[in-house]
Chain A
Amino acid sequence: MTAPPVFDARGLSKRFHMGQATVEALRGVDLQVSAGEVLVVAGPSGSGKSTLLHLLGTLDEPDAGALTIDGTPASSMGEAERTAFRRIRLGFVFQTFNLLPVLSAQENVELPLWLAGVSSGERRRRAHEALAEVGLGARRGHRPDQLSGGERQRVAIARALVHRPLAVLADEPTGNLDSGTAAEVMELLMSLNRAHGTVFVIATHDAALIARAPRRVALHDGRVASDERKASA
């Protein structure tokens, strides 16, 4: 028996109203993402990459279509359930890192565990491990403003993975990094995927990152223009 896809999107549509104008951000997107996959969603600005990630991450609701995450229809979840679902099953990485500036790297990584009610000793241990895994074990006491851009994004990745989520949704994770650091971050994501089997859905228009992705979904004007897998993937 085949395991259900982690994400199963059917005909997802999303519209935004900007004054008198209506923007069709997504127009009937079908997408299935299986366990352990790394998927890059590529496309120019305004193609709907971020909107798709927001819907997959239950941060927003589609106007039409259906989304099932790990067998659970997203439409059946209320606000509190979606919040709890994100807390337990999903991780997020943002282009601007979005770390809390008043917390140290260690405390930022502990945040999802604290929200999940994990005990303080267990939180410390797991956050320490996650930071060590992204190569920042020695920088855990530093606050975000004491870290470089690459280090901040590593902290954000550790935060996204520390609670062992089903999937991590990363919106332009290398957008604010130089090419060398971006390559390091991409390598880190791939190695974490191999180590934990966590699904990564990465929205980007970074050509180097797209080229390395095992699966590439290109969006154009809110539609899936192509869905390619590397032969070796």
Chain B
Amino acid sequence: MKLALLALRNLARNRRRTAISLAVVATGTAALLLTAGFMAFSFEGLSEAMIHGGLGHLEIALGSASAGRTATLERSPAEGLDDWEVVQRQVEALPGVLAASPTVHVAGMVSTASGTSAAFLGVAGDPARERRMGFSVKLRQGDPVPDAPPREGEDRVMIAQGLAQALGVGPGSRVTLLAVDLEGMLNALDVTVAGLITTGVQELDTRYLRLSLGSAQRLLGTTRVSNLLVTLDRTSRTEEALASVRSVLAGHQPPLAVVPWTERAPFYAQVEALYVGIFWFLGTIVFALVVLATSNTLTMTVMERFRELGTLRALGTSVWQVAGLIGLEAVWLGLIGGVVGDVLGAGLIGLLNAIGITMPPPPGAVDPIELRVVFVPEAFGGAILLMLTVLALAAVAPVLRVARLRIVDALTHT
């Protein structure tokens, strides 16, 4: 006979009450798993969207240009890389690197023949490499910019829908880009609208356009690029790749800065902090509910079994063995409830993913998202440990009550 076995049998005495307590613990566990899984999905989705939406895993730029700067579309090649093709070859030779793509950022005015004009933020890149890197351009109408460098007079751009709407242009329209080149002179470039795109962010769609690297360099009168964006085969390799790229470029003059995407994405950190805050808030509510519900159950258990506990003490059971019996009943509730909650949570996660719920676009976004809940293995063990902690806490008051029990009072309790 073991105390743990006795505690388990005691749980079976009032099956309905035990079932309710287990349901509370299991529901709390499942709720935590779903929240953790949804958070993981959100973090994963947001990080991959940002990385493959143009951020890359790493950015290589001049050290003087990158200090203290986050992701921006206004990084002029004035402080850019001259020998970027050499750097590109060095970096692309490293394991895990999918590609290192040059980008040129250009800001200026875009105007139409009818005289309508608007400010623009343009990004130029290497379309073939960007495809390899998984950068996604959401083309809504028309064609993408060709992979091959454009000949003079054949420059083409993709304009975001909001900007195209403001200008009243569509695929095939001719527009003029005006920008200040690196010499400080105003330069103009006539281009054809190849297609309409969206960035997924409403505000950015009113100013954004994409063009080929050659077109942007022609407009700015330079062969430099603003930076190189490096994409890896897996996001989890970021730290490892960061170290190896830094090592390879350590002797470069002028010094280069290699910055991971996390340092260039304050928005991601803000969202992460917000979600973690929500998780703790929900977790605290679940914690409090489970503590209150199970503490009540355990207290009732002690009250109803005063005489029995007194008998155990009379027979020579130590006060801590009797208190331990109540504690073990709490542990069993936490363990069984936690395991049932894990199974319930896994089932619900599978069900939600199988149903495929489509959620409306998040604030500021354009496209709806499909809800997915990720299996977070650590959360399954963590939730059980948390429930054991919760039940241990819930058992404190009943255990103290047992510890203060007077045997003769307990034996005469009715």
A interface, CB within 8 angstroms of B: 50, 54, 57, 59-60, 79-80, 83-88, 90, 92, 94, 96, 98, 100-103, 107, 110-112, 114-116, 120, 123, 159
Contact B1 A94 (CB under 8 A): no
A101 touches B13 (CB 8 A): yes
B408 touches A59 (CB 8 A): yes
- CB of A59 within 8 A of CB of B411, answer yes
Question: B residues engaging A (CB < 8 A)?
Answer: 1, 6, 9-10, 12-13, 307-308, 311-319, 321, 406-408, 411-412
Given A94-B411, A100-B311, A112-B315, output 12 extra A-B contacts at Cβ < 8 Å: A59-B411, A60-B407, A80-B318, A83-B319, A84-B316, A86-B316, A87-B315, A92-B314, A96-B307, A98-B307, A100-B312, A103-B1
Determine whether the beta carbon of A59 is less than 8 Å from that of B317. Answer: no
A102 contacts B315, C-beta separation under 8 Å? no
Q: Count chain A CB atoms within 10 A of each CB in B9, B316, B317 and give the residue with the most.
A: B316
Nearest B-chain residue to A51, judged by Cβ? B408
Give the secondary structure class of B's interface: helix
Contacts of B318 in A (CB 8 A): 80, 83
By secondary structure, the A interface counts as: helix
B1 touches A83 (CB 8 A): no
A111 to B411, CA, bound (A): 18
Q: Is the CB of B6 within 8 A of A115?
A: no
Given known pairs A83-B319, A102-B9, the reply for A59 and B314 (CB within 8 Å) is yes
> Counting chain B CB atoms within 10 Å of each CB, which of A101, A110, A123 scores highest?
A101
Interfacial chain B residues near A101, Cβ < 8 Å: 13, 308
Among A84, A92, A159, the most chain B Cβ lie within 10 Å of the Cβ of: A92
Give chain B residues whose Cβ lies under 8 Å from the Cβ of A100: 6, 308, 311-312
27 contacts between A and B (CB under 8 A): A54-B408, A79-B319, A80-B318, A83-B313, A83-B318, A84-B316, A85-B316, A86-B315, A87-B315, A88-B316, A92-B314, A94-B311, A94-B411, A98-B311, A100-B6, A100-B308, A102-B6, A102-B13, A103-B9, A107-B1, A111-B1, A111-B315, A115-B321, A116-B316, A120-B1, A123-B1, A159-B315
In the bound complex, how far is the Cα of B413 from the Cα of A94, in angstroms?
A: 13
Give the complex CA separation of A123 and B308 in angstroms: 22
